[in-house]
């Protein structure tokens, strides 16, 4: 059963800390829980029924008082949707980044066993994900211009891959059935062979071996993305030097035009 109020979280947290030898007191100069064991730094715990920005900001403020700060939330909320779970990957990563600990509290469990430690507060030293960073840099380098608007939702993003697929569609629309080799020879579609073969967006269809033409979806895409095509000048090179950047793989699932 979920806690009805923040005060319901206090007793399990107090019992959990006392079991480890801490002297625990509530509401000490604004801190929900303050615990001390010998000469060790104070352990501060901030209580909230749900994981929230307010709770995180409280925890950050308490780091000015002690390096051992925990955020404690009702463990029953961990059974909700993945994006709202207090012990989810995003929440844990945020706590690590800030050096905060994280506790799940279950008020209905027996005394001293109603707390699960998700994270202890430790200094965070992030490691760069070289593969993801390389893909990000590569996409930025190969994408021509800035065809998207930051912050939009439910809108198809014009990626470098989609731009090259549009170049293929534009050339097929202009020249009719063509081979990938001929498209590559224009200098505008170096990955034409894989783009036509995979046909991720359903824009192309094979006429005969080694020859492709536009599908009905492809002709419609030329109209839908007309504004984007205007920005893709013939033989316009990508910005910067794309050579050292890893090439992204094509999307696996077919997307609608």
pLDDT digits (tens, 9 = 90+) for 135-149: 888 999 989 998 898
176: left (phi over 0), alpha (psi -120 to 50) or beta: left
Calculate mean pLDDT across residues 196-206.
96
pLDDT of residue 235: 46
pLDDT of residue 241: 45
Share of residues in the chain with pLDDT > 90 (%):
60
Using CA atoms, how far apart are residues 23 and 41, in angstroms rounded to an integer? 12
pLDDT in tens, 2-61: 556 888 999 999 999 999 999 999 999 999 999 999 999 999 999 998 899 999 999 999
The answer to whether the Cα torsion of 135, 136, 137, 139 is positive or negative is positive
| List of domains in the chain | 7-119 (3.40.1350), 130-231 (1.10.10.10)
Is the pLDDT at 251 greater than 80, yes or no?
Answer: no
What is the pTM for the complete model shown? Answer: 0.62
**Least confident among 5-9, 45-49, 203-207, 237-241:** 237-241
Between 153 and 178, the higher pLDDT residue = 178
Residue 85's pLDDT band, with cuts at 50, 70 and 90, is confident
pLDDT of residue 6: 86
- Tell which residue, 123, 74, 116, 77, has the closest CA to residue 100: 123
Is the pLDDT at 127 greater than 80, yes or no?
Answer: no
């Amino acid at each position: 059963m979920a806690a009805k109020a923040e005060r319901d979280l206090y007793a399990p947290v107090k019992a959990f800390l006392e079991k480890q030898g801490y002297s625990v007191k509530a509401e000490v100069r604004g801190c929900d829980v303050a615990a001390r064991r010998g000469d060790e730094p104070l352990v501060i715990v901030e209580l909230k029924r749900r994981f929230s920005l307010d709770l995180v900001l409280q925890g950050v403020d308490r780091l000015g008082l002690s390096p051992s700060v925990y955020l404690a939330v009702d463990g029953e909320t961990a059974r909700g949707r993945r994006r709202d779970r207090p012990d989810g990957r995003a929440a844990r990563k945020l706590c690590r980044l800030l050096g905060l600990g994280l506790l799940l509290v279950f008020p209905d469990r027996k005394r001293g066993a109603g707390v699960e430690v998700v994270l202890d507060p430790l200094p965070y030293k992030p490691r760069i994900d070289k593969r993801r960073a390389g893909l990000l840099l590569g996409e930025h380098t190969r994408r021509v211009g800035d065809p998207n608007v930051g912050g939009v939702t439910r809108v198809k993003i014009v990626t470098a891959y989609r731009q090259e697929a549009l170049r293929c569609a534009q050339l097929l629309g202009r020249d009719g059935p063509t081979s990938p080799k001929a498209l590559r020879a224009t200098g505008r579609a170096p990955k034409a062979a894989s783009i036509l073969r995979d046909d991720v967006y359903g824009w192309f269809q094979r006429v005969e071996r080694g020859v492709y033409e536009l599908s009905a979806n492809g002709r419609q895409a030329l109209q839908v993305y007309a504004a984007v095509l205007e920005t893709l000048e013939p033989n316009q090179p990508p910005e910067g030097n794309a050579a050292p950047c890893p090439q992204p793989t094509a999307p696996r699932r077919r997307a609608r035009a």
